[in-house]
């Protein structure tokens, strides 16, 4: 059996490594390959891949004719090197990402249909399951037409859940906590392998790690300002209780443009981490006492990995959210967080002094 993982972020490398490790334990003698879209940077491999391939980043775009030819050429060369007469299993984060969808189509062609597809967890969207909207369905048909004209990547339209979990080609969905998925599909497969964030001492060290996120399209400016105030107040409360507080802000891998973080307060003496490693690796390195974010899935993963780190999310009031979709998304995120013990920043005052 040949297992091929297509990823485009440090976090996806982490999840893919854990899924591959689990599969190898269950069925020995298989081959495992990783295709990374973009620049590897500081990714930490937690699995001995048979081979790692790097292809040019598409950044979620449809691309044009020349780019399509380049992508197809890279994928064909990779398949020529790794695919034998064995059945091939393909793993990616979702069908909404254009390259993943294109890859699902070209894989069937290159293997004569002898392949199957699996989705693995990639953030809170895997738990808060959005449905394909009417407008998104129209866009998918347009993308299909563009692909058929060879003017961009091929695209397979689908209905149901936005990440494609309900598509008939998807045979399984790997996630850390299947019981927390808001819309179960019956295809969920639990990732049993542990993430591992180091052995942090329970001793207070005053280290705060803030996980920044790409805010554009998530919330409006009022909600952002509310979040800034909540974080600033938390840090000030912590400083009143401790002799020394060290605050680090880890920029999101997709937002390393050099612009200031939304949490970059000069008065708080924050240290900005412009590293491309995933948040879980940063936690293993820093061993913080607190990890704080808007609604990063890393809060969930870190809390599941260790009870010693206090994980905090920013609870945004409903009146600061623009529409029903945003309100539902944050309500579902809150449900997931509080189920595992991630707490809202407004309620952490007692934890600061404990």
What values do phi and psi take at 141, rounded to 5?
A: -65, -35
Question: 183 and 216 share a domain?
Answer: no
27 shares its domain with 172: yes
**What digits encode the pLDDT tens for the residues 230-247?**
888 898 888 888 888 899
Euclidean distance between CA atoms 324 and 267, whole angstroms: 36
Domain edge (last residue) among 190, 224, 242: 190
> Whole-angstrom Cα distance, residue 132 to residue 164?
9
Comparing 178-187, 203-212, 260-269, which segment has the lowest mean pLDDT? Answer: 260-269
In a domain, 263, yes or no: yes
pLDDT at 268: 52
Q: What is the mean pLDDT of residues 260-288?
A: 73
Is 253 a domain residue?
yes
Instruction: Give the pLDDT of residue 267.
Output: 45
Domain-located, residue 128: yes
Asked if the structure places residue 35 within a domain, the reply is yes
119 assigned to some structural domain:
yes
Q: How far apart are CA 261 and CA 268, in angstroms?
A: 13
CA torsion, ordered 190, 87, 56, 49, to nearest 10 deg: 60
CA distance 285 to 271: 15
Least confidently predicted of 1-5, 269-273, 310-314, 318-322: 269-273
225 shares a domain with 343 = yes
Res 120 pLDDT > 60? yes
Residues 11 and 150 in one domain: yes
Last residue of a domain, one of 122, 155, 190: 190
Number of domains in the chain: 2
Judgement on whether residues 118 and 11 belong to the same structural domain of the protein:
yes
CA distance 5 to 301: 21
Confidence at residue 354, expressed as pLDDT on a 0 to 100 scale: 38
pLDDT tens for each residue of 1-52: 899 999 998 889 999 999 999 999 998 889 999 999 987 766 777 789 999 9
Q: Do residue 223 and residue 178 come from a single domain?
A: no
Q: Say if residue 138 is in the same domain as residue 14.
A: yes
Residue 202 resides in a domain: no
Give the pair of three-digit tokens for residue 219. Answer: 């919330």
- Asked, for residue 196, whether it belongs to a domain, the answer is no
Tell which of 162, 190, 218 closes a domain. Answer: 190
Residues 232 and 175 in one domain: no
307 Cβ neighbours under 8 A, 6+ residues apart: 341
Q: Is residue 199 part of a domain?
A: no
Q: Check whether residue 163 and residue 26 sit in a common domain.
A: yes
The answer on 341 and 255 residing in a single domain is: yes
* SS3 of the chain: CEEEEEECCHHHHHHHHHHHHHHHHHCCCCEEEEEEECCCCCCCCCCCCCEEEEECCCCCCCCCHHHHHHHHHHHHHHHHHHCCCCCEEEEECCCCCHHHHHHHHHHHHHCCCCEEEEEECCCHHHCCCCECCHHHHHHHHHHHHHHHCCCCCCCCCCCCECCCCCCCCEEEEEECCHHHCCCCCCCEEECCCCCCCCCCCCCCCCEEEEECCCCCCCCCHHHHHHHHHHHHHHHHHHHHHCCCCEEEEECCCCCCCCCCCCCCCHHHCCEEECCCCCHHHHHHHHCCCEEEECCCHHHHHHHHHCCCCEEEECCCCHHHCCCHHHHHHHHHHHHHHHHHCCEEHHHCHHHHCC
The CATH number for 39's domain is 3.40.50
| Model pLDDT, residue 198 | 67
Q: How far apart are CA 298 and CA 291, in angstroms?
A: 9
Instruction: For residue 296, give its domain range.
Output: 207-352
Indicate if 57 and 95 belong to the same structural domain. yes
pLDDT over 90 at 91, yes or no? yes
Whether residues 64 and 164 share a domain: the answer is yes
């Amino acid at each position: 059996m040949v297992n091929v993982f297509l990823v485009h972020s440090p976090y996806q490398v982490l999840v893919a490594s854990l899924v591959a490790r689990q599969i190898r334990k269950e069925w020995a003698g298989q081959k495992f390959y990783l295709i990374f879209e973009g620049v590897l940077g500081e990714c930490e491999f937690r699995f001995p891949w048979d081979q790692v391939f790097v292809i040019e980043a598409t950044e979620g775009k449809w691309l044009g004719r020349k780019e399509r030819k380049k992508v197809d050429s890279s994928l064909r060369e990779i398949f020529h090197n790794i695919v034998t007469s064995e059945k091939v299993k393909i793993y990616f984060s979702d069908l909404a990402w254009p390259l993943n969808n294109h890859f699902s189509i070209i894989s069937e062609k290159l293997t004569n249909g002898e392949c199957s597809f699996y989705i693995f967890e990639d953030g809170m969207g895997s738990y808060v399951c959005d449905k394909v909207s009417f407008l998104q369905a129209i866009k998918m048909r347009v993308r299909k037409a563009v692909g058929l004209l060879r003017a961009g990547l091929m695209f397979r339209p689908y209905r149901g859940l936005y990440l494609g979990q309900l598509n008939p080609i998807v045979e399984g969905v790997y996630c850390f906590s299947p019981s927390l998925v808001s819309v179960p599909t019956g295809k969920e497969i639990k990732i049993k392998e542990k993430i591992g964030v180091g052995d942090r001492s329970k001793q207070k060290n005053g280290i705060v790690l803030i996980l920044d996120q790409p805010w554009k399209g998530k919330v409006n400016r009022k909600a952002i300002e509310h979040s800034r105030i909540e974080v600033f107040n938390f840090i000030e409360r912590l400083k009143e209780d401790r002799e020394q507080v060290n605050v680090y802000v880890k920029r999101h891998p997709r937002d390393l443009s050099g612009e200031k973080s939304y949490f970059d307060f000069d008065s708080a003496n924050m240290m900005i981490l412009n590293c491309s490693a995933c948040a879980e690796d940063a936690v293993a390195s820093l061993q913080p006492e607190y990890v704080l974010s808007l609604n990063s899935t890393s809060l969930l993963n870190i809390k599941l990995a260790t009870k010693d780190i206090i994980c905090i999310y920013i609870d945004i009031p409903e009146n600061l959210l623009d529409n029903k979709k945003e309100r539902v998304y944050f309500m579902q995120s809150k449900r997931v967080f509080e189920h595992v013990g991630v707490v809202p920043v407004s309620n952490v005052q007692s934890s600061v002094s404990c």
